[in-house]
Amino acid sequence: MLQLLYTIDQPHGLGELYFVWQKGEARSLLATTGTDATVAIYDRSGQLLERMKLQGLCAGMEWDNDGDYLAVITPNSNSVLLWECHASKRISIETGLREPPSCLAWAYGEPLLAIGTQKGNLALYNHHTSKRIPIIGKHTKKITCAAWNKDSILVLASEDKSLSINNSDGDTLRIISLRDTPNDLQFSEMKTDERVAGENTISLIVGKRTLYLYNLLNPENPIELAFQQRYGSIVTYKWYGDGYILIGFSAGFIIAISTHIKEVGEELFQVKNHKDNLTDIAICNGQAASCGDGQLKLISVWNNGEVVGCVSPGGGAERARWSGDGRLLAASGRATLSVYVARLPPLHAAHATRLIALTSLTEATVYQCIALHDSDAARCELRGDSVRIRHPLNLDHSQVTK
């Protein structure tokens, strides 16, 4: 069951609230933004560490894969704000292009940032070398999203209804035409009979109605999946497990499908977990959550989408994200951010007749074993007292031992 860790009311005033968890080994920071044109950085206990004023509303923010840098873009500046986590240092990066950025994505293995623009151009920036490569005419219209795979292949999606597949130098390897505007671009591994390892599949939503799968190993045979109209439009989707996809629809439906070539598109389960609408889904290590009707629900993807937990945050729930380790779940509503503890590691110790166990990130409970005797038998009863922890535990750090 979810335990509320902290709530932040109006961190950016009234209106929409967006957030992203830090990646990498630390995975303890949370970046938020909203209608006040600032980005705020919070630690694992909800304490404000940094607030950065932007030149306009945030149009996108992304942590690099080691969690060292946060990149932020706005729609009225042609530069990128880079925040260095360990030094709390802010750097303004010029893209070399005249128009503002529209999306960004970090590569794996090195701090290489791809920046798409509102006019379809591309800039590549390597923070280690400070090398910058502006590329004109990558697309004819706005680049809406970008994604890298672990082999340094960069894919861009554009309002010109096309995808471009590029190498790490920005050279175009292939152009793919689509029937409608793409969004929610992701890389993952599609299940094939050959079981070739690696992120071999590009996936995206086309026109909010179909899910498009493009296998790099079988480029001549892309797959486009359509769904029942009663589901509504596709809100978002997430890969999980061994080539499965969880899809959330606007009418409140959630379905799971397989991508194995012999059963691609086949529904594994279908549930309607939200009566009126669904606004987001999130998944990490097999744990799924969904937002809709102002509620945040936990879903068992291994038990046909059964709801195993439900909370109603004070400000509602419109977006949800798991921390990288799957222990914390954050949800934002109108102007409010709530962070919940979803899973604790079994940290405990015993001495003589006493036992101490972690019962939340801010609380440990000490149990005393007391022998009780009656006429029939002797038994042992545990009586517990809670002890507050001054600073919430960061359970990602190596110094925490069992």
Give the span between the Cα atoms of 68 and 86, in whole angstroms: 7
Q: Measuring CA to CA, how many Å separate 377 from each of 265, 371, 381?
A: 60, 11, 13
Which among 121, 143, 147 has a CA at the least distance from the CA of 134? 121
The confidence score (pLDDT) of residue 399 equals: 38
Residue 370: Cβ within 10 Å count: 11
Q: What is 52-73 written as a DSSP string?
A: EE-SSS--EEEE-TTSSEEEEE
pTM greater than 0.85: yes
Assess contact for 82 and 91: CB atoms under 8 A.
Answer: yes
The confidence score (pLDDT) of residue 111 equals: 95
Give the span between the Cα atoms of 219 and 125, in whole angstroms: 29
Give the span between the Cα atoms of 385 and 354, in whole angstroms: 11
Q: Measuring CA to CA, how many Å separate 48 from each of 7, 43, 52?
A: 12, 7, 11
Give the span between the Cα atoms of 280 and 317, in whole angstroms: 9
Structural domain boundaries in the chain: 3-341, 348-388
Residue whose entry in the numeric block shows the structure tokens 């942590």? 63
The confidence score (pLDDT) of residue 27 equals: 75
Give the span between the Cα atoms of 324 and 184, in whole angstroms: 19
pLDDT in tens, the chain (402 residues): 789 999 999 999 999 999 999 998 767 899 999 999 999 999 999 999 999 999 999 999 999 999 999 999 999 999 999 999 999 999 999 999 999 999 999 999 899 999 999 999 999 999 999 999 999 999 999 999 999 999 999 999 999 999 999 999 999 999 999 999 999 999 998 766 665 667 899 999 999 999 999 999 999 999 999 999 999 999 999 999 989 999 999 999 999 999 988 888 889 999 999 999 999 999 998 889 999 999 999 999 999 999 999 999 988 999 999 998 899 999 999 899 999 998 776 777 887 778 787 776 667 788 777 766 655 544 555 556 665 655 555 544 433 333
CATH fit for domain 3-341, picks 3.40.50.300, 3.40.630.30, 2.130.10.10, 3.30.1330.40: 2.130.10.10
